[in-house]
Amino acid sequence: MTYAPISSDAATTSGDALVSADDVRSAFAQAMSEMYRQEVPQYGDLIALVADINRRTLEQDPALAERLEAQHETARLDVERHGAIRVGTAEELATLRRVFALMGMHPVSYYDLSTAGVPVHSTAFRPVDEDALSRNPFRVFTSLLRLELIEDDALRRQAASILAERDIFTPGARELIALGERQGGFDPSQAQRFVAEILETFRWHHEATVDRTTYQSLHDAHRLIADVVCFRGPHINHLTPRTLDIDAAQAAMPERDITPKAVIEGPPKRRWPILLRQTSFKALEEPVRFAGQEDGSHTARFGEIEQRGMALTPKGRALYDTLLSRSREQPSAGDNATHQRQLEDVFAEFPDDLETLRREALAYFRYRISDTGRERLAAGATPPETLDALVTEAWVEVMPITYEDFLPVSAAGIFQSNLGDASHAAYANGSSRAAFELALGRPVFDEFALYARLQDDSRAQIQRQLGLCALR
């Protein structure tokens, strides 16, 4: 397997040139994508489908093409992916945090899936800076099994002791993690070795570490518990490309012999997309070999497509959550067309023009001086001192900030569509963010604070450029 060439940055600590964490992340994302394409050929089909749809969408919508270009999103679109993994212990999670940090990825947000009957809680490792996001926004939705939610004492202890036996990292990976932390990064050849060693953690193993009886009892407690506990490592369970038109993707999947889940998760189609819309195809039944040489099958890996819209403020998110739960009070439509119509009716209340979204502070925006603004400034005109006036008088342009995170209700829908009839009722224990952060070894970043910082930075920049003492 070949990796993308990793270019050297000038930054040095010990005399060796270190590559940037962004380059390590890009190389890793590409290596992961190549590995998954070989492991799950349908993933390659999804990539081809999404590339086709994106090309057509950009051709048919020049305004969208121009906007994406202005937001530096065209280049990242082709490589943009998220993946997902599930781990079993605090040590595994904390070590992954160190691994991802070396790739410039940090834990953002806490997701509690137990209310949806899935015995895990999660975060997403992703880049947080503007530059890093535009280089390659690779994200990994990472779930930690909540062993305490296994009701049967003996089974819970058995699961814990199975997990205690395994090391999901190669010895080479452990050495390189320590080295990378000591040096503050990797030189090019270390970076290539790091990517190769870490890839091993995410590889699929068709030999289970347990016998069929053990697998079955864990599977009966919850299918996901068997998936986390019975294998050597946390195989990547999907990799998701980003489409510009998820309705077209949903419609095109059957034409390519891919059966999508019944409905698209998230908000309805809008003129100005918000947050995240997702669809997936069901997990594949794959042959496995249990300890004792018995053959069987396991269902875990699937495919997913997503469309990203703008990040919402806490106020916008509260409106989204209210409308989403209102739409879920109606009897659920079995088919996507009806489901989307119902959603659209309820979401008619959510403003769908940029200026209202901005003035009502429902979404986050990036501000930028317009060409007109530059010309006026050069001609000696005095800009107004309020943002609203700068926008209405076309001194500055506004662009929505892309949502980089995940939605717990949608994530639960994706998990559930893979659990078939065996879905579990909500767990009563409730959310346990403090326990998750303790396992992780640090608090998660607050997504709203990250988006607010991007917005504030852009405001500060136009204020400087316009030479304004104050900007209200």
- Name the residues that contact ligand OOG, by CB under 6 A: 84, 86, 141, 143, 237, 278, 304, 406, 410-411, 414-415
CA distance 74 to 144: 33
> What minimum distance in Å lies between the beta carbon of 263 and ligand OOG?
14
In the complex, the smallest distance separating the C-beta of residue 83 from ligand OOG, rounded to whole angstroms, is: 8
Output the smallest distance, CB 279 to ligand OOG, in A: 10
Contacted by 415, from ligand OOG, Ni ion, none: CB < 5 to 8 Å by type: ligand OOG
Using the minimum distance from each CB to ligand OOG, give the nearer residue, 347 or 415: 415
- Both tokens of 307, joined, read 């469309």
- Sequence-separated (6 or more) residues with CB below 8 Å from residue 378: none
CA-CA distances (angstroms) from residue 277 to 259, 285, 349, 353, 413? 17, 26, 18, 19, 11
Residue 417 partner contact from ligand OOG, Ni ion, none using kind-dependent CB cut-offs of 5 to 8 Å: none
Q: What is the DSSP string of 228-296?
A: HHSSSS----EEEEBPS-HHHHHHHTGGGT--B-SS-BSSPP-SS-BSEEEEEEPPPEEEEEETTTEEE
* Distance separating alpha carbons of residues 445 and 100, to the nearest angstrom: 14
Site residues for Ni ion per CB under 5 A: 84, 240, 304
Question: What does 86 bind: ligand OOG, Ni ion, none (CB cut-off 5 to 8 Å by kind)?
Answer: ligand OOG
- Report the greatest alpha carbon distance in the chain: 82
Q: How far is the CB of 461 from Ni ion (least distance, A)?
A: 33
Q: Please list, residue by residue across 46-68, b when 16 or more beta carbons sit within 10 angstroms of its beta carbon and e when fewer do.
A: bbebbeebbeeebeeeeeeeeeb
CB nearer Ni ion, residue 192 or residue 240: 240
Residue partners of 260: CB distance under 8 A and separation at least 6? 250, 253, 254, 279, 280, 281
Tell me which residue has its CB nearest to Ni ion.
304
CB of 414 to Ni ion, least distance (A): 6
Please give the single-letter amino acid code of residue 193: R
- How many residues in total does the chain contain? 472
Can you tell me the distance from the alpha carbon of 87 to that of 214, in angstroms, rounded to the nearest whole number?
A: 18
CB of 275 to ligand OOG, least distance (A): 11
Query: Reduced to 3 states, what is the DSSP secondary structure of residue 128?
Result: coil
Which two structure tokens, joined as six digits, stand for 304? 């997913």
209's contact among Ni ion, ligand OOG, none, with CB below 5 to 8 A by partner kind, is none
Of 99 and 228, the one with the shorter C-beta distance to ligand OOG is: 228
Helix, strand, coil percent content, the chain, rounded in steps of 5: 50, 15, 35
Closest residue to bound ligand OOG by CB? 411
In the chain, count of helices (H) and strands (E)? 20, 11
Work out what residue 308 binds among ligand OOG, Ni ion, none; the CB cut-off runs from 5 to 8 Å by kind: none
- Closer Cβ to ligand OOG, 414 or 440, answer by number: 414
Our CB check for ligand OOG shows the closer of 351 and 408 to be: 408
Q: How far is the CB of 303 from ligand OOG (least distance, A)?
A: 11
In this structure, the strands spanning 139-145 and 81-87 are: parallel
Using CB distances below 5 to 8 A depending on partner kind, what does residue 143 bind out of ligand OOG, Ni ion, none?
A: ligand OOG
111 interface partner picked from Ni ion, ligand OOG, none, CB below 5 to 8 A per type: none
Closest approach of Cβ 236 to Ni ion, in Å? 11
From the list Ni ion, ligand OOG, none, pick the one residue 406 interacts with, judged by a Cβ distance below 5 to 8 Å according to partner type.
ligand OOG
User: Which is closer to ligand OOG, CB of 120 or CB of 369?
Assistant: 120
Give the residue with the Cβ less far from ligand OOG, 221 or 414.
Answer: 414
Nearer to Ni ion, 73 or 304 (CB): 304
